[in-house]
Amino acid sequence: YQVKTVPTKAFQDQRPGTSGLRKRVPVFQQEHYTENFIQSILSSIPGGPKDTTLVVGGDGRYYSNEVVQKIIQLSAGNGVKKLVIARDIIFSTPAISHEIRSRKATGGILLTASHNPGGPKADFGIKYNMDNGGPAPEAVTEAIFAHSKELTEYKLVDLPEVDLSQLGERQVGPISIEVIDAVKPYVAFLKTLFDFDAIKAYVHQPDVSVLFDGLSGVTGPYARDIFINELGLDESSIQGCEPSPDFNGGHPDPNLTYAHDLVKAVEEKQITFGAASDGDGDRNMIYGAGAFVTPSDSVAIIADWAESIPYFAKGGVKGLARSMPTSTALDRVAKAKGIEHFEVPTGWKFFGNLMDAGRLSICGEESFGTGSDHVREKDGLWAIVAWLNILAAADKKGIKGIKGVLQDHYSKYGRTFFSRYDYEEVDSDAANKVIKELSDLFASSDFVGSSPTATSSSTSFKVAEVGNFAYTDPIDHSVSKNQGHYVTFSDGSRFVVRLSGTGSQGATIRLYVEKYSQDSSEYGRDTQEGLKPLIEVALKLSKLVEQTGRKEPTVIT
Ligand code: VG1
Ligand code: CO
């Protein structure tokens, strides 16, 4: 075999965002574009690519096979020793994280655009994970970006297409390719974390029913193994469990808008436990008949019930964390239990250092991401099984179903109302103006202490604190600035505005609002009603509607 050096021209738009590089498929299909980015990743591996072992897989979306074949050729050209690839590339993000860790691999390349639609005109994504199984920290993603801007050539070995449907290890030119069953080891691992016997007994109770929706993403085969093979549930307890390159034409995002098939089925059949996961398997939604669990509540409740989960009962809960826009429900659990807790910027890469240092066990994001230090990614099926484990334990205490657990939590801690408004594909200049509007406001000397009013209800809020969130990592002391503008009011409510780092077209503005209540007469209230005055104030202060021309958000979660 012979290593070929291919001259190329650098692209200037390959900066990884919140979770890797995400672009439309035609962008990745440009000549050299994908090769350049893979070369930039390989060149940025700490210690270099030579003699490394990399785990490769993804959600199986459109264009995955083409990209894996390129990864094989470039890896061979860069002296990578071995690639561990999932059969048919179907490898959930948390399962890749686990595989990297259990094999002590050098890292992994993940091919996914998560919850974004797939197909010839839709999204593709590439991201690099480190030897701890977690997303590359900013120092590495910035190194990848720096390489990509200056690249003049890449190295490959011309190799025949590798058949990824056949399990087993083979030598392909200079590189070893091992195609693995990516489902079995992950499910076996989950079984060591949870009380599967208790869960099995719980889900077979006559008044308990389960419905999981894989949204045609990567989790289908995993869910089949867990719900059908391990828990012995009927075939009718899973849907959307055939992975599809375009997610069956859908939007594989587990929220009330995009998982409507699940929501509808749960309500129609009065299913007690419904759940869904996103395209690459790291997000989750928990939804039982008449009971939706917000992701911010979900992580707080998992933390509160941690002792019922064998993994935490054995190892203890070392610390808790949430991303900045996530509601403060988790903080109250941390305080009550006397556990250290952290607020980090948006994106799972910020949890890794704390976990590696043994200071963080359970964490979550408002964006339907929940997880623990069992891996270094958020983990949809983990969260879903955690909830089943908690429901089984709660049931023994006479607390019935999702609703019972929520009510019990609110009565102990109060209720945090939370909502996120997304304005997608907004003109970038307009989006920047919204941020600038807030920056200017924060800079004015009389804003803190002022009392903006929501005219429709004449509710006013006194501004207590404002800022553009910055984070200093407690472990490596790296600083991440510009992570979102927040306004906290004197009653503890707040709103946050930030620009998405995962979009592939235009800008997405995210507005997060939160209000805390200890008034039990409010606990049953509709979230949107309860938050209305706050949203009005946030829109007024940011001039969002004027600047963007958007009267309504694209999605409300
Ligand atoms: C979004 C979410 C963030 C999440 C990220 C990746 O990022 O807000 O919480 O970590 O997606 O999730 P942004 O920058 O668009 O707000 V996933 O499931 O794409 O890996
Ligand atoms: Co995802």
Alpha helices for 339-427 (secondary structure H): 352-356, 380-396, 401-413
Q: Angle CA(425)–CA(294)–CA(20) in degrees, nearest 5?
A: 45
CB 64 within 8 A of CB 244: no
Q: Which ligand does the CA of 280 lie closest to?
A: 2
pLDDT in tens, 29-60: 999 999 999 999 999 999 999 999 999 999 99
Buried-exposed string 106-115: b where 16+ CB fall within 10 A, e elsewhere? bbbbbbbbbb
Please report the pLDDT score of residue 530 as a whole number.
83
- DSSP secondary structure, 157-178, as one string: E--PPP-TTS-EEEEETTEEEE
pLDDT in tens, 62-82: 999 999 999 999 999 999 999
Please report the pLDDT score of residue 454 as a whole number.
85
> Domain spanning 186-413: which CATH class is it, in words?
alpha beta
Mutate to test the pocket of ligand 1, among 15, 18, 21 (most ligand atoms within 8 A of CB): 18
For residue 489, what are its two tokens? 């009011």
Listed in order, the ranges of the chain carrying CATH 3.30.310.50 are: 416-556
Instruction: Give the orientation angle of helix 33-44 with respect to helix 64-77, to 10 degrees.
Output: 50
* Average of per-residue pLDDT across 527-556: 88
pLDDT band with cut points at 50, 70 and 90 for residue 271: very high
**How far apart are alpha carbons 392 and 389 in whole angstroms?**
5
Mutate to test the pocket of ligand 1, among 367, 377, 504 (most ligand atoms within 8 A of CB): 367
Q: Is the CB of 413 under 6 A from ligand 1?
A: no
Q: Angle CA(44)–CA(48)–CA(52) in degrees, nearest 5?
A: 115
Burial, 358: exposed, middle or buried (Cβ in 10 Å; 0-12, 13-18, 19+)? exposed
Whether 524 has a pLDDT exceeding 80, the answer reads: no
pLDDT band with cut points at 50, 70 and 90 for residue 96: very high
Task: Locate the ligand 1 atom nearest the alpha carbon of residue 323 and give its number.
Answer: 9
Whether 550 has a pLDDT exceeding 90, the answer reads: no
Whether 539 has a pLDDT exceeding 80, the answer reads: yes
* Average of per-residue pLDDT across 501-505: 75
Task: Supply the CATH classification number for the domain 416-556.
Answer: 3.30.310.50
- With residue 125 as reference, give the H or E element that holds it: strand 123-129
Kindly report the backbone phi and psi dihedral angles of residue 108, in degrees, each rounded to the nearest multiple of 5, phi listed first.
Answer: -155, 155
Whether 18 has a pLDDT exceeding 90, the answer reads: no
Q: Is 450 helix (H, G, I), strand (E, B) or coil?
A: coil
Whether 324 has a pLDDT exceeding 80, the answer reads: yes
Looking up tokens 């391990």 gives: 230
Please report the pLDDT score of residue 520 as a whole number.
83
How many angstroms does the Cα of residue 357 sit away from the middle of ligand 1? 24
Burial, 340: exposed, middle or buried (Cβ in 10 Å; 0-12, 13-18, 19+)? middle
The β-bridge relationship of strands 362-365 and 320-323 is parallel
* Average of per-residue pLDDT across 281-288: 97
Which residues touch 79 (CB under 8 Å, ≥6 apart)? 49, 50, 51, 174
Listed in order, the ranges of the chain carrying CATH 3.40.120.10 are: 3-182, 186-413
pLDDT band with cut points at 50, 70 and 90 for residue 372: very high
- 114 a catalytic residue: yes
- DSSP secondary structure, 52-100, as one string: -EEEEEE---TTHHHHHHHHHHHHHHTT--EEEEEEEEE--HHHHHHHH
Ligand 1 atom 11: the closest Cα is on which residue?
502
Please report the pLDDT score of residue 114 as a whole number.
96
Which residues touch 93 (CB under 8 Å, ≥6 apart)? 59, 110, 112, 114, 218, 280, 281, 282, 377, 378
Q: Is the CB of 369 under 6 A from ligand 1?
A: yes
CB 169 within 8 A of CB 178: yes
Please report the pLDDT score of residue 272 as a whole number.
96
Please report the pLDDT score of residue 501 as a whole number.
78
Task: Supply the CATH classification number for the domain 3-182.
Answer: 3.40.120.10
- With residue 527 as reference, give the H or E element that holds it: helix 527-542
